[in-house]
Chains A and B, each alone.
Chain A
């Protein structure tokens, strides 16, 4: 097999049993890396799907293994990185993709839901960064956080947006604080991606279904940018959030699709 900048390197992608995380795990493996495929629950569909992602990675000649961990739990995160370390002995890329959030307006969130929102989408990511630093330091590794346009624009019933904004700030912070350890930190901010989570969003934003496909992005397009940020070509990019949205956020002009008519 041809040697690449990713050959013999190891990635851990949180929440990679489906959607964007799955596309990232597959893209990193295609680029040459071995991958730890994290899923949150044991026994359910996410475990079955994580196993499938691993088989797909193995089918193109790379190594992969599924690792269950709820990132909101520090113990669970610790065990996940120990498992990755025992398995591959190194870590080069940490991709923070996992997210979980209710879809309702902030004022309707119960205390428990607010705490879970912060536990998974902010604290959980920081647990992962903390646990990964020693391994990333020895490899001169990269951290890429997967954000969304909700970090900077309003979406109805999308409290996750404020957590994405907080994490983009964490990315800027860690890009400098981890620089002496040789760890690069960046983020990719995805536009509208028609994955499973999109099926939730459409319940609250009827108009979203009428956004033409040419203004949406695919999980693979986001994944390719993640791979780029992990590669040598991104060596001068640090602390940045790269927007990958097919130009959606660049448009002040909103054509007829907002009223539900197809603009194609």
Chain B
């Protein structure tokens, strides 16, 4: 369900902030379509830093494992990445569905080039999908009274319980299961 407690513009603003603060760069450089690696100079540790900031900001748990790792777990070893570390056709099909048909993704591409496809918008999309797992009612008191606390945390206005979002890994698994049912990729 699309949550409306935190407006999407606010989510994107917080994602941009996590990126410019994490990378210590001029906020004006961080645009929705900016590539984190190619344009903003992010390295692997920076992704974790940005991730950490976003988890703290929204009180969520982002995915610990990549979509590719989930594919391998679900559809078997080398279903997503072959022995040489290259993307399989199946992996590319799945990734294109997930990242708006990004033309950068091609079978045979080295998995190490993948972070190059991450943009500010794709990070924001991941955060939005977690926030959209907001349950209708509070899991503690059952009331439907979500409020924003500290600008970006959703909590129950009635009992004060923080919202229980589905974590990023569970959402990827749910999504992959749906994709497999409709597209029969593997």
A contact residues vs B (CB 8 Å cutoff): 18, 41, 43-46, 48-49, 110-112, 196-197, 199-200, 202-204
Contact = CB atoms under 8 A, between A and B. Distances in A.
Contact of B64 (A18, A44, A196, A204): A204
The 5 lowest CB-CB distance pairs between A and B, nearest first, are: A44-B41, A199-B52, A196-B45, A199-B48, A44-B43
B49 A196 contact: yes
Given A110-B81, A196-B45, A202-B52, 19 more contacts: A18-B45, A44-B43, A45-B41, A45-B42, A45-B46, A46-B43, A48-B24, A49-B24, A110-B85, A111-B83, A112-B84, A196-B48, A197-B45, A199-B51, A200-B45, A200-B48, A203-B48, A203-B64, A204-B64
A110 B84 CA distance: 8
B45 A110 contact: no
- A interface, over-half SS: helix
Nearest to A46: B43
Contacts of B24: 45, 48-49
Interface in B31-53: 37, 41-43, 45-46, 48-49, 51-52
Interface residues of B, number: 17
13 contacts: A18-B45, A41-B43, A44-B41, A45-B41, A48-B24, A48-B41, A111-B83, A112-B84, A196-B45, A199-B49, A200-B45, A203-B48, A204-B64
B23 interface: yes
Contacts of A202: 52
A47 to B, nearest CB: 8
Nearest to A197: B45
Contacts of A46: 43
Contacts, number: 38
A110 B68 CA distance: 13
A196 B47 CA distance: 10
Contacts of A18: 45
Interface of B: 23-24, 37, 41-43, 45-46, 48-49, 51-52, 64, 81, 83-85
Most buried by A among B23, B37, B43, B83: B43
Nearest to A41: B43
Contacts of B42: 44-45
B130 to A, nearest CB: 15
B135 to A, nearest CB: 22
A45 B84 contact: no
A198 B144 CA distance: 37
Contacts of A49: 24
Nearest to A157: B64
A43 B43 CA distance: 10
B63 to A, nearest CB: 9
A210 to B, nearest CB: 15
Contacts of A111: 83
Contacts of B83: 110-111
A196 B64 CA distance: 16
A18 B23 CA distance: 12
B9 to A, nearest CB: 27
A120 to B, nearest CB: 13
Contacts of A110: 81, 83, 85
Nearest to B40: A45
